Structure 1
């Protein structure tokens, strides 16, 4: 609820700023066009319900932002987060003069705030304020754009539109400042040519009076002090809170590497880890939207509070298994064992992966593919020629997987490991896709032989081993280079079955399990083999096939 209030109040103000800047851009033509365009942009916001909404949004957004800053136990923030926070705290100080000189004296003293009068103030009477106003445009717009970036970066469509939105983010303030500068230059020219007659004519038409001028001058110092106090108050409150917290003993986090981290009372796990200098992914800035700060919680999990509305929705969206929580949302009151499940450089795209893929048992079909006679190929061809052929081979195998719903899980020199069903619960469809993938690989090898006929000393051949069963599927590999793969007896068995293709002299060795549970009928001439594979105590039943089964005759 609070996050939504902060978001929607910010979007309301951003809409106002956007219309205001578009209004400024009309100044490229003339101040009069600014006034005309203003009837359809800024003037709309003076409709009482909208003006009240804008004022409430301003107060709400600022209070919630200050409350978030006050509640932070750690100020170890990313540069973009620091920029957004500092720019936001500067906005009241930069804006108050302009607000007093326009809307407040308009409501309190009947002074018109038409663009010609305002530009006369900013360009002729108080040029310093004119420069400050240009700086304010940049600060307010940048603050808003960073906030929108934080909001959108977890959305799937954002990477595609980021460049376009970035272009508009630069173009709009540039046009606004150009219009503001052009209109100000025109007012200066008119003042120089018309002299006192022009200046007093504008002031008289705007009903500028001494009471309004006195009010503005008398309000400057108190308003300056007040806005500076507003900016500094969250830091002061936060410091007092931290001083009180130091007197309390917070719970302890234990990490897999044996390190322990003290959690300040009321802090989130994300704040505690960052304060301890432990890198932790958090693309959305700790708002519970990206799920990149996901953790596996061990001992102490039962004493955690149940997920709130935001965390529950995020965990549901990634089908999180039991024990997974978000570091930015949990505030432990007791000692807790945790294990971060994503690298510190995880992206928004990583956060959209199903939670179970961080390490869970799944029913999968594992396929091992090996290129035959690759050693002989290396003896007969130059290294770069071999590299070219291998690249063609892997490209074709990868495309076969992509076309049939498989996942390229592991590179094995002159072969690869593929997975089917790592993100599905439909066993029959998974098996069918795996058979289709194997058939597509065999077809593509034939096509590759034809395409590279002049380059090959002999025809390329592959051996394919297929098996189905339970495996631990998750992100594996060195830090920062993880990829989805699998481990377990099912994977080892598939690898051993692929090795059997050499002994039988066939391209396919498929475990009996796949035919028992899948929709593919067993070929009539298939012979069942049951042997103890290398490294295994129990025997495995399989079929050695010299051609793919008929996939058009699936069982109904």
Structure 2
């Protein structure tokens, strides 16, 4: 609701500015044409209902923008966001003189602010104010265009029309300033030709009086102070809030890489992550429209407040699974485990896709399989022969997975990654299937060695690493080529376990977790080992086995 108010109030103000600039273009011809066109452009805003709407839009837009700035816990913004904010805060200071000299004096002192009188003020009496007014046009227009860009860039049609709209956004203020300059030059020429008689004639026709002039002069200093205070007040309030927040202990965000980030009280997860220097995608600027700041929330999800109207609509549009939330919308009150689901350079198009790195947290068994001595194979065989052998190898491994309920998740050159249990909650059944899959792979490698004996310079051997734990499972990959895969510490740990098969010279390295949670009997001669994980303080316990445990009793 609040975001919609800010959007619609901004669009109302932009429409007002647009009609003014279109009217200024007529100044290229003459001030009189500007006056004639104003009946169909600027004067319609003096109709009481529209004038009240415009006044309310002005107050609403500024208050909402200032409150948003006040509520920010982090000022790590993109350059475009900084530009929009600074330009917006400077507008009241730049515009109040023009507002007093035209509409307020019009209403309070019955002065007529026609274009000829206003141009006389800006071009002759106070030329510095005329220059300031030209700067104001650029500032107001740029602020509005940035806001509209933020609004439209998440729309599917925007990329096709962006260049056209950019051209129009440059053309309109350029022509408007040209019209303003041409009309001002014409007024200066008339002053030089008509002298005092022309000047006083214009002032008398506009009913300019001394009371109006005194009011304008007396209002300059107080209004300057007020508008400057309005510009800096949000920063002051924000600083006070931050000082108070430092005294309080906020919740912690735990990231997959082991890093923890403290969340200032009341801050969004996006603000906390950015303030900690963690790059996060947020195409729409944190308004809950683009969904590029997707997070998967793990432990602590139950304590999060339910999605609001904006977040719920956005999540529904991308068919978000359970556990996915938007970093710009959640304000954690308790510790929360999160994992960003899109890269920092994600685009609006990525945000519209239900796939990408979206997924859900699952308890899975991960299996890494690597073909040993594949380099030697390439040295001794022709490339097409190697390709034939590898195709046979992958065909056998894939069939072993298919027959035991596994899923081929990732190709790794001379190996692959497989998942078990990504569609079930039966932990013991999943572990049993994974062991059966590993046993089937070993049998099929032996069968492949017999079948290709005449083609092979040496017997094919494989190393298998197996581990169980939680991972984010979902569709991953470039657009149009996504496949179901998994990410997380469980996957990284399994890859490290597979690498340990080389050091031990065995075909199997299986984590202790699988034997603890599953029904598989541990071989009598199994020796427990531990290995430290790269980049982490933790280690993982595992068994290095030269043969599969006996599974025959489990099948009976």
Q: State the TM-score, normalizing by the size of structure 2.
A: 0.67
Q: How does 1:110-259 map to 2 (within 5 A)?
A: 110-259=110-259
Question: In the TM superposition, what whole-angstrom CA distance separates every residue of 1:440-487 from its partner, at most 9, and x where no partner exists?
Answer: xxxxxxxxxxxxxxxxxxxxxxxxxxxxxxx9542248xxx9962334
* Counterpart in the other structure of 1:458: none
Counterpart for residue 84 of structure 1: 84
User: Once the two structures are superposed, what CA deviation does each residue of 1:161-197 show, in whole Å capped at 9, x if it has no partner?
Assistant: 0000001000000010000000000000000000000
Distance 1:255 1:410 in 2: 24
Report the Cα distance in structure 2 between the residues aligned to 1:484 and 1:164, rounded to whole angstroms: 33
2:508 equivalent to 1:474: no
Do structure 1's residue 484 and structure 2's residue 482 form an aligned pair? yes
The alpha-carbon distance between structure 1 residues 282 and 219, as it changes in their structure 2 partners (threshold 3 A), is: same
2:281 maps to what in 1?
A: 281
Q: What is the CA-CA distance between 1:358 and the residue it aligns to?
A: 1.8
Taking the TM superposition and a 5 Å limit, the aligned residue runs for 1:11-50 are 11-50=11-50
Secondary structure of the residue aligned to 1:257 is coil
Contact 2:153–2:348, Cα closer than 8 Å, also in 1: yes
- Aligned residues: CA RMSD: 2.8
Could you tell me which runs of 5 or more consecutive residues in structure 2 were left unpaired when the two chains were aligned: 363-381, 387-408, 414-471, 487-550, 552-556
Q: Deviations over 1:353-399 (max 9, x none)?
A: 1158523699xxxxxxxxxxx95699xxxxxxxxxxxxxxxxxxxxx
2-structure distance, mates of 1:472, 1:124: 70
State whether residues 253 and 260 of structure 1, in contact with CA within 8 Å, keep that contact through their aligned partners in structure 2.
Answer: yes
Query: Which residue does 1:336 correspond to in 2?
Result: 336
- CA 1:329–1:360 in structure 2 vs 1: closer, same or farther (change >3 Å)? closer
Aligned pairs for 1:291-306 (under 5 A) are: 291-306=291-306
Distance 1:310 1:346 in 2: 20
In the TM superposition, what are the counterparts of 1:143-542 in structure 2 within 5 Å? 143-354=143-354, 358-359=358-359, 375=383, 473-476=474-477, 484-487=482-485
SS in 1 for 2:329: coil
Number of equivalences: 393
Paired residues of 1:74 and 1:275 also in contact (CA < 8 A): yes
Residue 321 of structure 1 contacts residue 355 of structure 1 at CA under 8 Å; is this kept in 2? no
CA distance in 1, matches of 2:309, 2:384: 61
**Alpha-carbon separation, structure 2, partners of 1:6 and 1:210:** 39
Residues 410/46 of structure 1: CA separation in 2 closer, same or farther (3 Å cut)? farther
- Once residues 360 and 337 of structure 2 are traced to their aligned partners in structure 1, the CA distance between those partners, rounded to angstroms, is 18
Aligned equivalents of 2:37, 2:129: Cα separation in 1: 24
TM-score by length of 1: 0.67
Is there any run of 5+ residues in structure 1 with no aligned partner, and where? Answer: 363-373, 379-408, 414-470, 489-537, 539-556
| 1:295 CA drift (Å) | 0.4
C-alpha distance in 2, partners of 1:205/1:297?
69
Q: For 1:337, what is the secondary structure of its paired residue? A: strand
Label 1:87 to 1:217 Cα distance change in 2 as closer, same or farther (>3 A): same
SS of 1:266's equivalent? coil
- Structure 2 Cα separation of the partners of residues 141 and 410 of structure 1: 50
Counterparts of 1:254 and 1:483, CA distance in 2: 30
Q: Is the 8 A contact 1:320 1:355 kept in 2?
A: no
The separation in 2 between residues aligned to 1:476 and 1:50, in whole angstroms, is 51
